[in-house]
């Protein structure tokens, strides 16, 4: 009997993990990727679980969707644990994340947030300065406390991406560079690309910011939006920072890689040049981002930034979009919610299980596409 044919559009972390899972189930898988603006190749490697203050501030209307999804984030970091154990090392460290407060108002915000997160099963605790001193003595003297979320962590995305691509290849996944421009659904799925045409029994759309355009003719108004963001990395330092660092009010993520380098990002803007070109770095973002990092961790102020870059994040409505398309059931959409690198492996595997009619271990009904029916 011929193997089932599955085509996946989008070769970021979601599509890649969907491909690995489907190939492990025995499917014949082709992964088609336009190779531009993957958040996966630009991201900071933070494993996010607690609500990000940045997201709550910028997208308050979407924050309830992220909060409702917190149990999915807990499952997602366990998915990373399993991937690390099977295909690592990805330099993964899960010692928790600290969200810092510099004044009483910020600390009160964190206290309320922590209570809501604990209700959703997160392992969170508010630490005062004395407690912080024991685990993060290198923090600036103005930090009065922090929320510690023990579920969080960090990894090196370059290591993870390279290894997972090698795994996909070793399982026989065919990796193709092309940009899909149209889908036609009949007794199978016909896809037209810029350089070739494809047919498959089923398709998984894991194309992040590109997903909305691909399904717009199929009765789905998926509001996938591209969000260009800035990143920095320093030369190696001795600092010894084990936690993922964020701030209660300001946009920042800061972490140290195994190499000693400090990765600084957390949502400072970059300049869009359209979805099909890499965004441009903004000097204001670089300066603002590293100045804030230096204020929070004064010991790193003397380090040189050796590289900055800009990449494309994707936002929808704060919640993952995952499911079969009503009226075009051969099409499965898999776009992770906020902090999509954290969610990508789990969302990808669940999409592959949907394609293979394999019962999943997560109820995906809350992430159904029905909310976007055109």
Give the binding site for ligand FAD (CB under 6 A). 9-15, 32-40, 42-46, 48, 179-180, 206-208, 210, 214, 229, 231, 253, 265, 311-314, 335-336, 339-342, 344
Neighbours of 341 (CB within 10 A): 26
If the CB atoms of residues 128 and 194 are measured against ligand FAD, the closer one turns out to be 194
**CB environment 250-259: b (16+ within 10 A), e (fewer):** bbbbbbbbee
If the CB atoms of residues 265 and 356 are measured against ligand FAD, the closer one turns out to be 265
If the CB atoms of residues 144 and 328 are measured against ligand FAD, the closer one turns out to be 328
If the CB atoms of residues 153 and 356 are measured against ligand FAD, the closer one turns out to be 153
Walk across the sheet containing 244-247 and list its strands.
124-128, 145-149, 97-101, 244-247, 253-256, 261-265, 225-236, 305-315
| Backbone torsions φ then ψ of 50, nearest 5 degrees | -70, 160
Compute the Cα dihedral for 176, 226, 160, 298 and give only its sign. positive
If the CB atoms of residues 78 and 115 are measured against ligand FAD, the closer one turns out to be 78
Residue pair 31/16 in contact (Cβ under 8 Å)? The answer is: yes
If the CB atoms of residues 51 and 206 are measured against ligand FAD, the closer one turns out to be 206
CB of 309 to ligand FAD, least distance (A): 7
CB of 105 to ligand FAD, least distance (A): 26
Biggest CA-to-CA distance, the chain: 67
CB of 299 to ligand FAD, least distance (A): 22
If the CB atoms of residues 46 and 106 are measured against ligand FAD, the closer one turns out to be 46
CB of 251 to ligand FAD, least distance (A): 11
CB of 207 to ligand FAD, least distance (A): 4
CB of 368 to ligand FAD, least distance (A): 18
Instruction: Give the separation between CA 210 and CA 349, rounded to whole angstroms.
Output: 20
Beta pairing, strands 174-177 & 180-185? unpaired
CB of 298 to ligand FAD, least distance (A): 23
CB of 264 to ligand FAD, least distance (A): 11
If the CB atoms of residues 39 and 323 are measured against ligand FAD, the closer one turns out to be 39
């Amino acid at each position: 009997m011929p193997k089932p044919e599955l085509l996946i559009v989008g070769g970021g972390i979601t599509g890649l993990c969907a491909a690995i899972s489907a190939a492990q189930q025995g499917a014949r898988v082709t992964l088609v990727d336009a190779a531009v603006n993957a958040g996966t190749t630009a991201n900071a490697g933070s494993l996010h679980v607690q609500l990000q203050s940045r997201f709550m501030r910028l997208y308050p209307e979407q924050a309830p969707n992220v909060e409702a999804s917190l149990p999915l984030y807990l499952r997602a970091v366990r998915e990373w644990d399993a991937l690390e154990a099977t295909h690592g090392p990805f330099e993964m460290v899960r010692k928790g994340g600290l969200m810092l407060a510099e004044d009483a108002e910020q600390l009160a915000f964190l206290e309320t947030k922590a209570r809501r997160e604990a209700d959703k099963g997160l392992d969170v605790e508010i630490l005062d300065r004395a407690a912080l001193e024991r685990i993060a003595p290198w923090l600036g003297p103005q930090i009065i406390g922090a929320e510690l979320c023990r579920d969080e962590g960090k990894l090196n995305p370059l290591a993870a991406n390279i290894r997972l691509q090698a795994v996909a290849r070793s399982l026989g996944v065919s990796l193709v560079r092309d940009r899909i421009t149209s889908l036609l659904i009949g007794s199978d799925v016909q896809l037209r690309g810029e350089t070739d045409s494809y047919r498959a029994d089923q398709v998984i759309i894991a194309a992040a910011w590109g997903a909305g355009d691909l399904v717009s003719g199929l009765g789905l108004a998926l509001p996938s939006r591209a969000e260009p963001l800035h990143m920095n990395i320093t030369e190696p330092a001795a600092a010894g920072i084990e936690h993922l660092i964020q701030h209660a009010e300001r946009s920042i993520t800061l972490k140290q890689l195994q190499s000693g380098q400090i990765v600084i990002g957390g949502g400072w803007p970059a300049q869009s040049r359209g979805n099909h070109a890499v965004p441009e770095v903004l000097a204001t973002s670089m300066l603002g981002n590293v100045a804030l990092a230096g204020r929070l961790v004064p010991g790193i102020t003397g380090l040189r930034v050796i590289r900055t870059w800009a990449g494309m994040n994707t936002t929808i409505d704060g919640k993952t979009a995952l499911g079969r398309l009503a009226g075009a059931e051969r099409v499965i959409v898999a776009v992770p919610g906020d902090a999509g690198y954290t969610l990508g492996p789990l969302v990808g595997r669940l999409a592959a299980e949907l394609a293979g009619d394999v019962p999943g271990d997560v109820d995906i009904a809350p992430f159904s596409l029905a909310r976007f029916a055109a």
